[in-house]
Homo-oligomer: A and B are copies of this chain.
Amino acid sequence: MPYVNIYLIEGRTVEQKREMADKITNVVSKVGKVPKELVHILFIDLPKTNISKGGTLQSDK
């Protein structure tokens, strides 16, 4: 605790995930006043065909 689930469009690099994980952990730890070790993050990658906004798939835009 806290647990963070991040849904992303496929294609983000490991470097981007590494940087997001590091920085988001710092924010949650500092603002939430919990040790960094307790901050867990999961990235769930999704193809553009699996994301819709306003009724239109991302792959159709």
Interface residues of chain A, those whose CB is within 8 Å of chain B, are 1-9, 12, 14, 16-28, 31-32, 36-46, 49-60
How far is A6 from B57 in the complex, measured between Cα atoms in Å? Answer: 14
Residues of B within 8 A of A42 (CB): 3, 7, 46, 50-52
Contact A18 B53 (CB under 8 A): no
* A23 and B27 contact, Cβ closer than 8 Å, known pairs A42-B51, A44-B50: yes
Q: Which 10 A-B pairs have the closest CB atoms?
A: A25-B55, A21-B52, A43-B50, A41-B52, A3-B7, A37-B54, A5-B5, A23-B27, A22-B55, A19-B31
How far is A37 from B20 in the complex, measured between Cα atoms in Å? Answer: 17
